[in-house]
Structure 1
Amino acid sequence: MQKFIGTGVALITPFKEDLSVDFDALVQLVNFNIENGTDYLVINGTTAESATITKEEKQEIINVIIKTNNKRLPLVLGVGGNNTALVIEELQTRDFTGIDGILSVAPYYSKPTQEGFYQHFKAIAQATDLPIILYNVPGRTAKNMEPATTIRLANDFANVVAVKEAGNNQQQYYTLLKDKPADFLIISGDDDMALGVALAGGSGVISVIGQAFPKEFSTMINHGLQGNNIEGYAIHYKMMDIIDYIFEENNPAGIKTVLEELGICKKDVRLPLVHTSAELQSKIAKFVANFK
C-alpha cells in the first residue's frame, strides 16, 4: 500500500461565522496541501469535527474534495463508529468512487474487550473490499486496542493494510513494528512522535499540524523514512512548540487558529467545541509570524 506511505493529513472542516461549511476555504486548503508536498488526504476524521457534521454535509464535503483533488492524491475516508451495524450499512450503501481507502476508528464510549475490537473490525473487513486503516486513539475512545489485536487483524484480513496508532505510547509503537506482517503499515497518529516512528520503521503519519505546514512536515517525514535523523530532527525541533499549542486546549480549535493566522480559513468550530483562548491564540499568532 505505497499510496499510504509518507504524510497524510486529517483535514479540518472549515466553517463560516454562521457555522455553515466554508467550501471555498476547503478548496483552498486542499490545493495548498497538494501543492506543498502532502502525500494523501484524510476526509471526515475526528479533526474534521465529524461528530457534528450532518450526512448531507458529509456527502457535499466528499464531493468537493474529490472534485478539487482531481485524482492528484490518494483519498482516505473516515468510516467508523461504535455501532458496527451502521458502519457496515454505510460501507454497503455509500458510493466510494474516487476513494482509495477508509480510516475506521476503534469503537468509542462502548469500551469493548480485545475480542470485541477484533469482531468489530472483522465485520467491517468482511463488508468491503476497500483497504482499511485501523485507527487506535484511546485518548478519545476510552479503551486501548492492544498491539496483539491489531496484529491479529493484520494477519487475518488482507484488506486491513495499516493502523493509525495514536496512543502516544512509544513502547506500543515498538511492539507493533516488531510484530507486524512485512507489508502492514504502522502510521503515526501522534504529531509529536511521528519522526521517531518513521525512523524506527514506521510508514509515516496522518497529521493534524501537517495541513498548516505541509512542506516542512512532509520534508521531515521523508527524512525519517530515509533514515536522515539529523535533518529530520532539525525540522522537528522547529515545530515542537506549535504541535504542543494545537493540542493544548482541544483539536481542531488549535489547528483552525493556525490556519486562520495563515489566511486559509476562519477559526470557527461547532459546539461543544469552542475557540481557543485569547492566551493560546496569542502564542499561536506569534509562532506563525516568526516561523521560517
Structure 2
Amino acid sequence: MLRTLTTAATTNPSLVRVPITSPFTRSSLNSIRSILASSDTQEAHAAVLIPLCNVDNKPGVLLEVRGKLRTHSGEVSFPGGKTDASPLAAALRESQEELGIHPRQVEILGRIGPTETSLSGLRVWPYVGFVHAERQAETPLDDPDVDAPLPSLSLSTLTLSPAEVAHAFHLPMAAVVSPPRLHTYLFRAARPYFAVSVADLVSGPHAVHSGPDIAPKWTNDPQQRDEIGGGREGRLEVWGLTGWYLSELMRHLGVYSDQPNVR
C-alpha cells in the first residue's frame, strides 16, 4: 500500500553519523564499521553486498538493474546470490561476477539485521562494504589520514555480466534523502520504508551498461505482487527487499528516522 511522504527523510540531522555530501573518509568508514559490528553466522541461503563508494567525490551506493532473467528481471538490486557455504564469500563472489569488483577492492564494514527472506524463501544476509577504486594491499598502510577523502571509483572500470546485469549506477547519499525521490511503502504489508526513484540516475552520466541498448527498460503491472518488477506507477525504484535493506542501513546510520512519517 502506497503512503504519501510528508517530511524529509532525515528528521534529526544531529543524529546522522555518515557524510551526505562530502566524500566517504577513513574516519566515516570506521564509524560505519562500529555501527554494524556484529558476529557472523553460518546459517545462510543467500547474501548480498551493499556497496558503498565515492564517485566524483560524492558518497553513495552502487546498485544494478537486473537483465532479462527468469526472475527479478528489470529490478534494481544489490549484487548477490545463493550461497553454498559462507554468506560473505557468496556476496563477494557475486559482486565480482556481476560487476567485476575484485574482493580485494571491498572493505567489509559489517552486516545489518535482522535478516529477511526473499519471496522465494531464501534467507538473505546483507553485508555492507566500501568499494575502493583499486585493490587494497593485504597489509594496510600504517597511520593513514583518517579524514582524507577516499579515492573515487570510476564506473568505467566495472565489467558487467551481460547475462545478469543490464545497468549499474551510483545512487548518491544526497539522493537518498531527496523528498521528491522518496515514496513510502509498507514492507510485507506491515513495516513502512522509503523507496527511491532512480530512472534518471540509470540514464545519467554515473551509470554503465552491459550492451549498446542503454535506455533503461522495465515493465510495470499495477496488479503485480509486491516487490516484483521495477517499481510502482511506472517508476524505476529501489524498492522491495532491496529498498527495505537500504532503508534499514540508513536508519542504522541515522540518515533516516526510526519510522518514515506517513499519512
**TM-score range with shorter-chain normalisation?**
under 0.3
TM-score (norm 2): 0.28
- How does the TM-score come out when normalised to structure 1? 0.26
Indicate the structure with greater strand content. 2
Q: Which has the higher helix share?
A: 1
Greater RCO between the two (CA within 8 Å, min separation 6)? Answer: 2
